[in-house]
Structure 1
Amino acid sequence: MTASAPSPPPLLDTDVLRSFVAIAESGSFTRAARQVFRTPSALSMQIKRLEETLGHPLFVREARQVRLTPEGEMLLGYGRRLLKLNQEAVARFLSPALDGVVRLGTPDDIGTRILPQVLSRFASGHPAVQVEVVAGRSGDLVGRMIDEKLDLVLVTEGNDDLAPGLGEVVHSEPLVWAGREGGVAAQRSPLPLSLASHGCAWRGMALAALDQAGIDYRVAYSSEHCAGQEAAMLADLAISPFPRSLVRPPLRRLGAEHGLPPLGEYRIALLRGESLSPAAEALAARVVEAFQEWR
């Protein structure tokens, strides 16, 4: 008798993988259900079948969140790559063929947060489009767009050199005080500050809040780039106003326990030049999508 060929291994369903990745990234079946437009019970059934297929538990269910098992962490890497490859394949056949050059301007503190994801996904779907990225101050970038040297510009609302209400607001988050974990800069008087250059919205919001609270301060360091502000904080020489999402160890948030006033929200807007090409419109859509996923 001829030996029968071994059965091929089961295939992973893309829809189930999408649910699995959403749960892993959000830490919650409820939050993931809203992202994939299913009920939590439907996601629970999907994960149960996936665990049965692979023969391993993928999540540890806790009171308020779920976390990955070692096998789940391994699958997460594969799942992300498979979903990305699926997206690239579909986009390659269904997306209209675009080419040309798109010029995008962004301040460094904004660009470093979303550009890697934006450029990677955009290049996958539109490999023939060349993207030129220019980093600089918001006001300078808007001027270059008016001169038709840039197609799209990301700016921080509230800068002195910008008219209010420009563009489409694509992101909003709290501006917070930040300093070195275990540092003493926040205890000094006058309060040492590391700020962006004159005209920056972060600078204006911080100084207005301190003035209103009657707190003595001195501008110890000034830099056009947030990396310069961060360097002074890391050295525990000053504190800074920083977007909450940029405060990462060894930095920490500072607040009322240090006698510091709240700073409020700051917003990022996307400006579009006139008569955008289809390629520029496609990149703009990808930028908006990246900020929505980032929230």
Structure 2
Amino acid sequence: MDTAPAVSRPTALPLLDTDVLRSFVAIAESGSFTRAANHVFRTPSALSMQIKRLEETLGQSLFVREARQVRLTPEGEMLLGYSRRLLRLNEEAVTQFLAPSLEGTVRFGTPDDVGSRILPRVLSQFARSHPAVQVDVMVGRSIELLERLDKGELDLVLATAGNEGFPADRGEVVHTEPLVWAGREGGVALERSPLPLAMANHGCAWRRMALSALDDAGLAYRIAYISENCSGQEAALLADLAVAPLPRNLVRTPLSILGDDAGLPPLGDYRVLLLRSGLAGEATDVLAGHVVDTFRGMR
């Protein structure tokens, strides 16, 4: 009697742990095991063990470890896209069953330089977890946003500390970042005398910090271009017509940070504040949490 051949069963593929993927994404986005460890509340050594096991599971090296940072290998870049999608799907599934149902509207004010960096991520995450909440965004100057908050016209406001007329005792500091001199990479604006500057109008904290530093250093300058938003200042820099003070994370190719050899004085740090209305509801608090978490991931 013939015996039926044994049916070969495919070997089950390993499952990727969402906790490990969250650590992987944090390292990839911050470029540092130490910064990522602060974000996911683990030690750097614990993250290192997680990544080692993940690399063994996939049979690929995911990071190139350099002296002061880590960067993704081509395989790591591929995994980053999958990881973000898996984490989003996991968040949506869990939220569908466990997250409280929030409704209503949150009126959110932000300066353009801050909002342009965090709004895409904040709004995307918030919309996935609380799709029934409408977010109305207003972009404006910090002092004007504060006035609208105090009038009850806004629920949540981001503002730059140090702006003229802005109270020193208002708000929660959610982000601190170095202010740097920026110009066109390989440009000649820095070599002109007096030094041409692209600035915001009177009252801007960056403007006051930059002019005070130049005055203290005894350097001659002229304000060549004025714009209320960063895109206007960046246009003058891209045309190599001026230099400007910008947050370090806003300086991207073809702009470059003008280092110590440029002969310009240091500018120090600037701070971003978060302010809430006294009548803010639960939806505002949840959105504020997303804002804080996004800034934390930028460190």
> Fold match, TM over 0.5?
yes
SS of residue paired to 1:199: coil
Counterpart pick for 1:170 among 151, 171, 174: 174
Q: Tell me the alpha carbon deviations over residues 40-60 of structure 1, each in whole angstroms, 9 at most, x when there is no partner.
A: 554444444433433333344
SS of residue paired to 1:161: coil
What is residue 230 of structure 1 aligned with on the other side?
234
**TM-score, normalised by the number of residues in structure 2:** 0.90
Q: Tell me the alpha carbon deviations over residues 197-241 of structure 1, each in whole angstroms, 9 at most, x when there is no partner.
A: 111111111111111111111111001111111111111111111
What is residue 101 of structure 2 aligned with on the other side?
97
What is residue 204 of structure 2 aligned with on the other side?
200
Q: Distance in 2 between matches of 1:73 and 1:271?
A: 36
**TM-score, normalised by the number of residues in structure 1:** 0.92
Counterpart pick for 1:106 among 106, 110, 134: 110
SS of residue paired to 2:83: helix
Check conservation: 1:229, 1:240, Cα contact below 8 A: yes
Q: In the alignment, residue 125 of structure 1 is paired with which amino acid?
A: S
Unaligned ranges ≥5, structure 1: none
Matches within 5 A, 1:1-295: 1=4, 3-29=7-33, 31-40=35-44, 42-61=46-65, 65-295=69-299
Aligned length: 295
Check conservation: 2:149, 2:157, Cα contact below 8 A: yes
Check conservation: 2:25, 2:83, Cα contact below 8 A: yes
1:28 Cα deviation from its structure 2 partner? 4.6
Q: Tell me the alpha carbon deviations over residues 228-287 of structure 1, each in whole angstroms, 9 at most, x when there is no partner.
A: 111111111111111111111111112432221111111110111121111111111111
Q: Distance in 1 between matches of 2:239 and 2:289?
A: 39
Q: In the alignment, residue 260 of structure 1 is paired with which amino acid?
A: L
Q: Tell me the alpha carbon deviations over residues 118-158 of structure 1, each in whole angstroms, 9 at most, x when there is no partner.
A: 00111111110000000111111111111111111111111
SS of residue paired to 2:106: strand
Runs of 4+ in 1 over 6 A off after TM superposition: none
Q: Distance in 2 between matches of 1:144 and 1:42?
A: 45
Cα distance, 1:67–1:92 mapped onto 2, change above 3 Å:
same
% of aligned pairs identical? 68
Q: Distance in 2 between matches of 1:41 and 1:201?
A: 39
Q: Distance in 2 between matches of 1:249 and 1:154?
A: 27
Cα distance, 1:147–1:237 mapped onto 2, change above 3 Å:
same
Q: Tell me the alpha carbon deviations over residues 173-198 of structure 1, each in whole angstroms, 9 at most, x when there is no partner.
A: 11111111111111111111110011
